[in-house]
Structure 1
């Protein structure tokens, strides 16, 4: 599964709409990409009808993951990073009610989502998440394009078997890295820590000002997401009637401390009680808050996916409010640089798609990312950083993806809490250990994760055909 890619941290940490990076953000981006390619080929103006065909895991849990919403919004030409959240349902319902879609935000087409978005149970050979767009042109000619949502909002097309493999921008990085071994070698030769190596690579793509701007956008989105989740009560949409828990947890933990915005909120949390039990509760509250927002079509940061979006912000908040009250933007930047790099190693060597690898590919990877990042912030060596990432993943190996009702709610939301706690514990284990005595290197656990993913039954790969998804009846929820 190895890919020689220069993956930016901003590829691993994308801003998007919930509930799923592979089933929501990916199809949304695929629709945008199709429109862009039609325009490039001079075909956009000639389109008279369109249809979307959804396959495999993307189909089996598509309705619960709002895949149909994502396709409609993508075909409308909206951007998930900036669309007002409050407009989403209104825009989708208008298309459903009128059967009219403003294609690419410009061209009025007849479009009935119930008939023109077709969910097929069969799987396409290339990837479990297949999506084919079809169009009929004014001339009567039929055209189509197939995309694959491979996790984390990444969208690809299938390469021809005899196509020449390319090193995608690999030569642009001063420190081209495919795996943990190469990352440690780069750190050793340059006498730099991991975040410094990653920052040097990012500088080959954009200026320091652009890097800082993008990192601030990512962090502000995370902070706003946690703030929103902690201040929103009620039940989540989708039919399971899952109660939002972050609101009550936050209210009990926060007490009467005053604040008026997310930044003041962060400062106020630093004044709260920090006994061991409260630490566990705060970390869980942060993680739950994010994924409750995600489950309600809110804006989150894929880290590396939407289903695992709560782990990294929860662990970063743990550092900011528990470990270091003087934590600032430079610490946030350092954390996200390391987290992004570890995530890219898993993407290159295995997968970050639950449809390909089960939940080990989402919560497991996010926990590894958070553990490694926290370890460097707490003074760990590059070797200890990778050790922490390995420990976190080792104890997520084989984790299935079996969402009840095809919704990113049960067990997905709680798993973010567990992934965050495991990440913190993995950090402490690594910081108290001698990496030279470690028996399992990070690259070996990445390889093992991929082998486990290939051995795992498709029932446990985001299809809702096994595990809790069939063991718990919807009527019981």
Structure 2
């Protein structure tokens, strides 16, 4: 499985990996391709059409703005989250866009960004087509991209191949299933994180991998800290109040942080997802809609586990990455494809397995913890009220973080043997997602999204 843990954990901005990060990357890829072909300065206009879930809930997820930023060659990992809103407003106000950061064109956000609320393309529910034209209307380039979850993007040519563009990179200990992963661990005597660390050598040396994962942890910590300090109302029209900062003050006043570790874990997750909902800097883990769970459980490890250290942080993220790869390879982490079980469920499973690893669990106990984390999120719908990543997403991350800790503790009480394997629960999640009606898969046409009155 030639995918790096650093592909799965990427730094970006909220509120959605599939609706914000992916479309920004796709738009940036499009203008880069246009430039590589020598056609950039011939472009007089660019039109973007958003289909399926991107069209249905794109406005609430910030997709039009993300496309604008991508067309100006911004990258989710480096874009200034504070400046981004001003740049989007500038384009809307002036009607001018700096294509690829080099070439000014006229751009009408109402005319040139089309959201098809009920039209879909066949390969994936998150689809977008970009077309560049000359002044006389001649088409220079047309490309269709699919945002397949977690910020991953494939174009029309790659969409039918697989869920992950594997490339040609060969790793030392390849695995495609949970059973293969456990078998590799038994054969080598390596832990899950140890095996993953050796695989990462296919891309970089061990020190670079450790440093990069510590950078991911630094961004996660900064996001939690920001979420615990920012107050006010989240954007988008629902008037959802930020609650993490006030709740944190209350918990500090009560003292005994270790005795209230689970409450803190829940708050850490909510703090991250409040930042995500505000369009701020987050780590996709494995998606933005579920970005709070892994940082929260990692905070739980650092703050509540004696002997926690940087090596443990690296091992945690490596183990979580191994589990996330299994979900991405064999099912989906896209809420638009399988519902929120693919986002919050996958993140809960990843965090549970990772915590079991750093608490001293065997590979079998790690697999057991990951299975428990997903088993009790099966069928979870993606039904964002108002198409915003706020209700029920913020609380859902808090609850899943607590569930992940419980799953790890439960698995460590056993010997790793379990009636349901990780592979079986991943397969069940995929089948459940296929059976789920589209109104429960990030379209805001079912569930809480239609039973809550917007005020």
Q: Name the CA distance, whole Å, in 1 between partners of 2:173 and 2:206.
A: 17
Q: Name the CA distance, whole Å, in 2 between partners of 1:361 and 1:22.
A: 12
- Alignment-derived partner of residue 243 in structure 2: 245
Q: Name the CA distance, whole Å, in 2 between partners of 1:206 and 1:296.
A: 34
- Alignment-derived partner of residue 153 in structure 1: 151
Q: 326, 332, 343: which is aligned to 1:351?
A: 332
Q: 457, 461, 476: which is aligned to 2:441?
A: 461
Q: Name the CA distance, whole Å, in 2 between partners of 1:161 and 1:242.
A: 37
Look up the SS of the partner of 2:131 in the other structure.
strand
- Alignment-derived partner of residue 263 in structure 2: 281
Offset at residue 166 of structure 1 (A): 11
Q: List per-residue Cα deviations over 1:206-228 (Å, max 9, x = no partner).
A: 12232122112211110000000
Offset at residue 27 of structure 1 (A): 0.1
Matched, 1:186 2:196: no
TM-score norm. by structure 1 comes to: 0.92
- Greater CA drift, 212-221 or 17-26: 212-221
Q: Name the CA distance, whole Å, in 1 between partners of 2:14 and 2:375.
A: 27
- Alignment-derived partner of residue 128 in structure 1: 125
Q: 92, 99, 104: which is aligned to 2:95?
A: 99
Q: Name the CA distance, whole Å, in 2 between partners of 1:161 and 1:474.
A: 36
- Alignment-derived partner of residue 208 in structure 2: 210
Offset at residue 274 of structure 1 (A): 3.5
Q: Name the CA distance, whole Å, in 2 between partners of 1:51 and 1:167.
A: 27
Matched, 1:228 2:226: yes
Matched, 1:395 2:392: no
- Alignment-derived partner of residue 176 in structure 1: 174
Offset at residue 76 of structure 1 (A): 1.1
Offset at residue 159 of structure 1 (A): 3.3
Structure 1 residues 172 and 352, CA, compared in 2 at 3 Å: closer, same or farther?
same
- Greater CA drift, 197-206 or 37-46: 37-46
Q: Name the CA distance, whole Å, in 2 between partners of 1:164 and 1:389.
A: 23
Offset at residue 164 of structure 1 (A): 11
Q: List per-residue Cα deviations over 1:104-123 (Å, max 9, x = no partner).
A: 11100000111100001201
| Root-mean-square deviation over aligned CA pairs | 1.8
Look up the SS of the partner of 2:130 in the other structure.
strand
Offset at residue 317 of structure 1 (A): 0.3
Structure 1 residues 294 and 389, CA, compared in 2 at 3 Å: closer, same or farther?
same
Structure 1 residues 223 and 443, CA, compared in 2 at 3 Å: closer, same or farther?
same
Unaligned runs of 5+ in 2: none
- Residue correspondences, number: 453
Q: Name the CA distance, whole Å, in 1 between partners of 2:381 and 2:129.
A: 27
Look up the SS of the partner of 2:303 in the other structure.
helix
The 5-angstrom pairing of residues 306-345 of structure 1 reads: 306-324=288-306, 326-345=307-326
